[in-house]
Structure 1
Amino acid sequence: MAVDPDQIRALVEQPVEALQVELKTWLDPRTEDGIAKLVKAMFAIRNRNGGFLLIGFDNATRAPDPYAFDQSVETLFHIDTLQGLVSRYVNPSFEIGIAFTDRDGQVYPVISIPEGVQVPAVVRRDLIGQGGKKLLAEGDLYFRTFNSNGTASSARILPPDYADLLDVCFENREADIGRFLRRHLGGVGSAATLSSALGIESEERKLRKRAFAILESGSAAAGTAIAERATPDQRKRIDNALTMHVGLAFDPPRPDALPTQEFLNKVSSSNPNYTGWPVWLDSRGFAEKLDRPYVASGMWEALIVDLDGGWSEHVEFLRLDPRGEFYLHRVMQDDLTEKVAPGTALDIILMIYRVAEVLAVGTILGRSLGWEEQGEAGFAFSWTGLKDRALRPWVNAFRSVGPNGGTSRTSAVEAYVTVPLETPSAALAPYVSAAVAPLFSTFAGYEPSTELVETSVRKLIERKMDS
């Protein structure tokens, strides 16, 4: 199972507990107790539709836990050992991945559990510990949930979680059907015809107006925050950089909602962390205090400025408003990497990944925060810093993305898409296509193929993105 090394590094550098990310202190997979804890965690994450298990961190403090075993981390947590536990105790079986990364001289294992569950992972045999205690029981089903103790945790499934589990399994089956329909209906006519045939086009003027209002006010706030904090040299890098701005509105708004810690915890725990630097991330554990979120104007805000030449540079401003309005301002990697000269390139697939992540995380947050699944989310996009930039696959120069789209003569472009909250993440490809179409068309009319968007969305959701 392929694992994105940048995502693994980010998870270890900034560990966070979420529904699809679990932190465990060091445990010994040679003992019955260690085996039981690993099995419960891996199966629970699998049934929540995949994610990551980080070993060696305290889930309350997010701090590293001292390593005290006699074998190396790589030996103790070898893939053959872990996959053997899955095969021995699960029905039906599934493949896992393992990656190791260093932090402050200590190696940590990150277990990657794939998404796509259509039949729940169930314990297939008993595991008896010391004194005859049954640590695992045949037929047990574990799930990542808020319902066990009010925080994200792995536990034996309870009746309130049945609906969520069924939704996960159904959505993966529905996504397979959706991919089949799109493959066979894609040649019928235009993208609009396809969207209409699939019943996915439902824009509402009021929601669109709210989303663009969020975009406008958020962009102004981001500009003010960056001007106050960034140095003159940093502002020179930021001002003309390729930047994605997103305004997200949930319907209906909640005018009386307050920016509580509980709200922020729910946002953080619900984020599926598809990438190493997820959209609307929780920066409360960041070492730089200025990067941490604060409350302003009745909402959570955070400005992250990291341009010190470390392993990964970032400039990001975000707003999390419990009234149903989210904003994101992100300087794109295309201008924060040594692989390509700033101001010269836009990587097609990388941008598709980022837009797909915005739509996927946005709809997941809407559902997790209690908006009705029959409701809708309005996404307004704006991209700036486009002029004289060319489409170029700099992340992986050997990837085929179709004909070169040329160079943009436009400085900025906007787009909008309405997404029903009930849409499975794996079925977002038509919405992603609609969102990126105005952006890519400015590059001499470039239009990515349906297959390219579909494949890119699937890789993002399955956490198998190209490096």
Structure 2
Amino acid sequence: MLPEDERLNQARRVAIQHSEGFGIEHKSWLDLSNPDDQVKLIRAILALRNNDGGWLAIGVENGTGMTAKNPPSNLRVSYDADAINKLIVEFSSDPFGVEVCYPDVDGVEVAVLRIPGGVKNPAVTKKSIGVTKLLEGDTIYCRSMRGGQVSSVKANHRDLGEILERCMRNRELDIGTFVRRHWEDLTREVSSLQSPPERRLDEFVGTCLSKFGQRLVDHNLKRIPMPGQLAVGVAWDGRLPDTNSTEHYFTRMIMAHPQKGGWPPWMDPRDFPGSHCKRDVRDGAWEGLIAIPESHAQGIVFSALDFAVWNFSVGLFHSGSYVDDHPALGIQQMVSRGETWVMGGPPPWYRRALDRRNIVRDVANRLFTAQSLVAGLFKGQDAPLPENLFFYFRFDSLKGRLLADYEGGGFSRPANKAMDESIVSYTQLKMDSDRSVIAERTRSVLRPLFSAFGGEDLPQQRVDNWLAGFWV
């Protein structure tokens, strides 16, 4: 078991993470005397258990990393570990115990449950419960991304295959305890290679987003309104013989940066002035923060906000602001509409719109740049160039936005407003793919995003036209 301080820090990172994942779920406050809230709790716990463990943060609004309103008067009584474990024994066919931590988030304690891994038999519900929310008996719940967002759902035939494979793998690991103890590094690598790229990227991106939030806290920047962020995680199917985060390898990779137009991803923070632009090595990987606050009479906003991770043994991560949330364009929109910015409040242009051409260019830029960076990283090393790159894209802060075209001071052709807060999309790209293939992958990445705005489609010809100037 981890020391108490380390467990609390880990639980806090889970709570302030800006998004859920296969191994992390956020819930607002639950009344565990209410059968409907018991359903939410049990379903989430059993789904995470069948996912081979994870974290459930209670008292956190999903997508914001902020605490929910109206916390219980006595948190530790409301979310007592013994009471929660009693519910698990009552409803799970294969009982297990959970740990409960109570980390402080912005001055408010929340409850974070750690659901153990090592599942060897699927956790099946023993009976039904609920009135408006129903927990079905003899049912297996799991974590899934069928609707574009990760959630706890009833397992279908495909999910059951993955759960059974997970159980068999854990049984095999029990048999190999002796070998695993002596060959820990080898088994960790084999396990990583066996897990699907989507799962590895989901965990990697979730960890990096949590680090992003912590760096903002470290720099006392958490109170500045956050612009919407486009996050991308990249992994490859080859392996470097040397994965140490040395200056030599980092420089070699950065020298391969293609330097396309616009605001490039994965830039070296040392090229930017200011105390909040910093690059260093943490947990064996390079991390870079570019945070440039801009003061106005009404408040402070970010004129630039990027966070990147260069992990040579796992992959690359980058989170950058939407072009439409940058102050230069936002103030121009605000003035053209005659809007006012209330002092101390968020800028009125946040969550206003996403420009179709800007977001197409930003996705293509990340695909193209990642291809160049990985090629530069492998250049000169005693290892073959990877054959494939795997991408995870996450579009955050979408709810309430319009999808439109910006034309000299105003937006035209607005679509319906987005109802979802976040959209996740995956794609794969061969290292030798040309620009036409990158354009096709750009469209595949963006189709789930565009469809979230009233079912809008994204024709390939339009993507090609918008990228024609980008490749010059």
Give the alignment partner of residue 254 of structure 2, picking from 268, 272, 275: 268
**Superposition pairs of residues 198-347 of structure 1, within 5 angstroms:** 206-231=196-221, 233-234=223-224, 237-238=225-226, 241-254=227-240, 256-308=242-294, 313-337=303-327, 338-340=331-333, 341-347=349-355
Provide the TM-score with structure 2 as the length reference.
0.50
In the TM superposition, what is the alpha-carbon distance from 1:275 to its structure 2 partner?
2.2
Give the direction of change, closer, same or farther, for the CA distance of 1:349–1:247 in structure 2 (3 Å limit): same
In the TM superposition, what is the alpha-carbon distance from 1:382 to its structure 2 partner?
0.8
Contact 2:237-2:386 at 8 Å conserved across structures: no
Report the 3-state secondary structure (helix = DSSP H, G, I; strand = E; otherwise coil) of the residue aligned with 1:439.
helix
Give the alignment partner of residue 395 of structure 2, picking from 379, 383, 386: 383
What residue is the counterpart of 2:167 in the other structure?
A: none
Give the direction of change, closer, same or farther, for the CA distance of 1:399–1:308 in structure 2 (3 Å limit): closer
In the TM superposition, what is the alpha-carbon distance from 1:304 to its structure 2 partner?
1.3
What residue is the counterpart of 1:359 in the other structure?
A: 367
Contact 1:214-1:249 at 8 Å conserved across structures: no
What residue is the counterpart of 1:350 in the other structure?
A: 358
What are the ranges of 5 or more consecutive residues in structure 2 without an aligned counterpart? 1-193, 334-348
**Superposition pairs of residues 406-425 of structure 1, within 5 angstroms:** 406-425=416-435
What are the ranges of 5 or more consecutive residues in structure 1 without an aligned counterpart? 1-203, 463-467
In the TM superposition, what is the alpha-carbon distance from 1:333 to its structure 2 partner?
2.2
Report the 3-state secondary structure (helix = DSSP H, G, I; strand = E; otherwise coil) of the residue aligned with 1:430.
helix
Structure 2 distance, partners of 1:339, 1:395, is: 12
Report the 3-state secondary structure (helix = DSSP H, G, I; strand = E; otherwise coil) of the residue aligned with 2:249.
helix
Give the direction of change, closer, same or farther, for the CA distance of 1:211–1:333 in structure 2 (3 Å limit): same
**1:456 matches 2:466:** yes
**1:430 matches 2:466:** no
Structure 1 distance, partners of 2:295, 2:405, is: 23
In the TM superposition, what is the alpha-carbon distance from 1:287 to its structure 2 partner?
2.2
Report the 3-state secondary structure (helix = DSSP H, G, I; strand = E; otherwise coil) of the residue aligned with 1:423.
coil
Structure 2 distance, partners of 1:245, 1:255, is: 28
2:439 maps to amino acid: A
Structure 1 distance, partners of 2:409, 2:433, is: 33
Contact 2:332-2:409 at 8 Å conserved across structures: no
1:439 maps to amino acid: L
Report the 3-state secondary structure (helix = DSSP H, G, I; strand = E; otherwise coil) of the residue aligned with 1:352.
helix
Structure 2 distance, partners of 1:261, 1:231, is: 28
Contact 1:214-1:248 at 8 Å conserved across structures: no
Provide the TM-score with structure 1 as the length reference.
0.50
In the TM superposition, what is the alpha-carbon distance from 1:367 to its structure 2 partner?
1.7
In the TM superposition, what is the alpha-carbon distance from 1:458 to its structure 2 partner?
2.7
Contact 1:428-1:457 at 8 Å conserved across structures: no
Give the alignment partner of residue 449 of structure 2, picking from 439, 443, 447: 439
1:317 maps to amino acid: F
Structure 1 distance, partners of 2:433, 2:439, is: 11
1:456 maps to amino acid: W
Q: Deviations over 1:17-73 (max 9, x none)?
A: xxxxxxxxxxxxxxxxxxxxxxxxxxxxxxxxxxxxxxxxxxxxxxxxxxxxxxxxx
Give the direction of change, closer, same or farther, for the CA distance of 1:388–1:450 in structure 2 (3 Å limit): same
Q: Which has the higher contact order (CA 8 A, sep 6+)?
A: 1
Report the 3-state secondary structure (helix = DSSP H, G, I; strand = E; otherwise coil) of the residue aligned with 1:308.
strand
Moved more, 279-288 or 304-313: 304-313
Structure 1 distance, partners of 2:416, 2:440, is: 24
Structure 2 distance, partners of 1:232, 1:265, is: 30
Structure 2 distance, partners of 1:398, 1:336, is: 15
In the TM superposition, what is the alpha-carbon distance from 1:404 to its structure 2 partner?
3.8
Contact 1:244-1:330 at 8 Å conserved across structures: yes
In the TM superposition, what is the alpha-carbon distance from 1:344 to its structure 2 partner?
1.0
Give the direction of change, closer, same or farther, for the CA distance of 1:372–1:449 in structure 2 (3 Å limit): farther
Structure 2 distance, partners of 1:432, 1:323, is: 26
Coordinate RMSD, CA, aligned: 2.5
Report the 3-state secondary structure (helix = DSSP H, G, I; strand = E; otherwise coil) of the residue aligned with 1:278.
coil
Contact 1:255-1:323 at 8 Å conserved across structures: no
What's the % identity of the aligned pairs? 20
Give the direction of change, closer, same or farther, for the CA distance of 1:387–1:317 in structure 2 (3 Å limit): same
Structure 1 distance, partners of 2:249, 2:222, is: 35
**Superposition pairs of residues 89-104 of structure 1, within 5 angstroms:** none
Q: Deviations over 1:339-366 (max 9, x none)?
A: 3322211111100000000000011112
Contact 1:426-1:461 at 8 Å conserved across structures: no
In the TM superposition, what is the alpha-carbon distance from 1:271 to its structure 2 partner?
0.4
Contact 2:253-2:374 at 8 Å conserved across structures: no
Structure 2 distance, partners of 1:382, 1:325, is: 16
Contact 2:425-2:448 at 8 Å conserved across structures: yes
Contact 2:212-2:307 at 8 Å conserved across structures: yes
What residue is the counterpart of 1:465 in the other structure?
A: none
In the TM superposition, what is the alpha-carbon distance from 1:289 to its structure 2 partner?
4.1
Give the direction of change, closer, same or farther, for the CA distance of 1:428–1:280 in structure 2 (3 Å limit): same
Report the 3-state secondary structure (helix = DSSP H, G, I; strand = E; otherwise coil) of the residue aligned with 2:270.
coil
In the TM superposition, what is the alpha-carbon distance from 1:375 to its structure 2 partner?
0.9
Structure 2 distance, partners of 1:324, 1:395, is: 41
**1:394 matches 2:406:** yes
Structure 2 distance, partners of 1:367, 1:232, is: 35
Structure 2 distance, partners of 1:339, 1:253, is: 47
In the TM superposition, what is the alpha-carbon distance from 1:397 to its structure 2 partner?
5.9
Structure 1 distance, partners of 2:407, 2:220, is: 27
**Superposition pairs of residues 134-145 of structure 1, within 5 angstroms:** none
In the TM superposition, what is the alpha-carbon distance from 1:387 to its structure 2 partner?
0.4
